[in-house]
A = this chain, B = another copy of it.
């Protein structure tokens, strides 16, 4: 029965996140943008300054909430995650992404891990203590859109069996949390790489291997190096360093998804995350709308009437609101479709669409908000400038819309027997 009412549990989830957000996220920017009265001297200090927020998130159960209940966590259906993400992003971005990055990093474990691996590696994340970081380590400096293209180069990060170990070499970049709090690695990395195997296609060679801080510590320092922390346009307190692995050894038992299965797990991981990026867009648009509506009801800018009465202003507010409502409805639908049939292409399609639509709508909406407020929005005391810099990542990360997300949908459309309306009405007779 079609229904848009949150369950009591879901209302509870929202309330809990709102409470966390108002205590820990609302003022987060002031923490990571300044150390005392000055900007942080080093870029990486920004990330580190959010460690107390992260600890509070752990304590508030926000990490456990990202782990499925059967595995010991509190995670519910994917829609709950959408609610959480919207609430966070309606308040703050960087510290939120750090928290969510751990969930992303653990996802391959949920999807492909054996019970033993799950038990072993999830433990620190279920403890409710400390500041354990996980990271999905996928992206590479030379590009990742075509990591599974036959005829392309495939991952440059390569693992080779040697006795009881895999020996890993290559470079990664951008993976949220991957450097860890101290540049010696996240507590857990799910490392996407290639295990070269004659006869297998580029796609079939893809594997996922778990790398822990302990694994790194048991190698020489050279084996894992943070080469640099790319300064980013927005999301300025997130950790996504340029990393080099040089003959890093990890036990073969760390293999999470073997060749032949790795790429599917990656794709599924990025399917759920796509929907969540849509939810980030909703959160950002909510902020934009709330901010600009309040402005328009307050400000006269020298005129005899408030700006809300000017049709050109109202038309922009309406655009923003419509995009926000439409995105949220689509995100929810995608979440429900994913929960019903996680591996199905038609559910995946909805998730990618939620990502594309939500991310591009968010950017357009921040821009509309800026044009509406006018020159005052150019002051950094006004929130829209920062928000623009945060928002523009939505279309280009988590698989850029141009190179990754549209191509994935394209492939689904091209499938034999594709039924465009199956996710909505079931398979046509």
> What's the nearest-Cβ distance from chain B to residue A60, in Å?
19
Taken together as a complex, chains A and B put the C-alpha atoms of A177 and B397 apart, in Å, by: 39
Asked if A12 lies at the interface with its beta carbon under 8 angstroms from chain B, I say no
Interface size on A, residues (CB 8 A): 108
Q: A1-B3, A145-B303, A308-B414 are in contact. Are A289 and B378 (CB under 8 A)?
A: no
Of the listed stretches A183-191, A206-214, A254-262, A324-332, name the one at the interface; the rest are far from the partner chain. Answer: A324-332
Q: Which of A301, A379, A395 gathers most chain B CB within 10 Å? A: A301
> What's the nearest-Cβ distance from chain B to residue A260, in Å?
20
How many copies of this chain does one complex carry?
A: 4
In the complex the two chains form, is B332's CB within 8 Å of A302's CB? no
Segment 358-392 of A: residues with Cβ below 8 Å from B: 363, 367, 370-375, 377-381, 385, 388-389, 392
Which chain B residues border A424 with CB–CB below 8 Å? 4, 328
Taken together as a complex, chains A and B put the C-alpha atoms of A336 and B139 apart, in Å, by: 41
Asked if A401 lies at the interface with its beta carbon under 8 angstroms from chain B, I say yes
Taken together as a complex, chains A and B put the C-alpha atoms of A308 and B414 apart, in Å, by: 7
Asked if A249 lies at the interface with its beta carbon under 8 angstroms from chain B, I say no
In the complex the two chains form, is A293's CB within 8 Å of B326's CB? no
In the complex the two chains form, is B302's CB within 8 Å of A380's CB? no
Taken together as a complex, chains A and B put the C-alpha atoms of A243 and B199 apart, in Å, by: 53
Residue of B nearest to A404 (CB): B374
**A 1-42 binary contact with B (CB < 8 Å = 1; else 0):** 111111100110010000000000000000000000011010
A interface: dominant SS: helix
In the complex the two chains form, is B143's CB within 8 Å of A300's CB? yes
> What's the nearest-Cβ distance from chain B to residue A14, in Å?
7
In the complex the two chains form, is A301's CB within 8 Å of B403's CB? yes
In the complex the two chains form, is B392's CB within 8 Å of A370's CB? yes
Q: Which of B4, B314, B350, B409 contacts A2 (CB 8 A)?
A: B4
Q: A10-B2, A393-B378 are in contact. Are A325 and B333 (CB under 8 A)?
A: yes
> What's the nearest-Cβ distance from chain B to residue A355, in Å?
10
Taken together as a complex, chains A and B put the C-alpha atoms of A410 and B388 apart, in Å, by: 25
Of the listed stretches A124-132, A151-159, A218-226, name the one at the interface; the rest are far from the partner chain. Answer: A151-159
Which chain B residues border A227 with CB–CB below 8 Å? none
Which chain B residues border A321 with CB–CB below 8 Å? 349, 353, 409, 413, 420
Residues of A within 8 A of B (CB): 1-7, 10-11, 14, 38-39, 41, 79, 139-140, 142-147, 149, 151-154, 174, 230-234, 286, 289-290, 293, 297, 299-304, 308-318, 321-322, 325-330, 332-333, 336-337, 349-350, 353, 356-357, 363, 367, 370-375, 377-381, 385, 388-389, 392-393, 395-397, 400-403, 406-407, 409-410, 413-414, 420-421, 424-426
Question: Which 10 A/B pairs are nearest by Cβ-Cβ distance?
Answer: A143-B301, A233-B385, A329-B329, A311-B311, A146-B302, A374-B400, A151-B304, A314-B410, A146-B303, A231-B380
5 residue pairs A–B, Cβ–Cβ below 8 Å: A3-B3, A143-B301, A143-B374, A233-B378, A286-B420
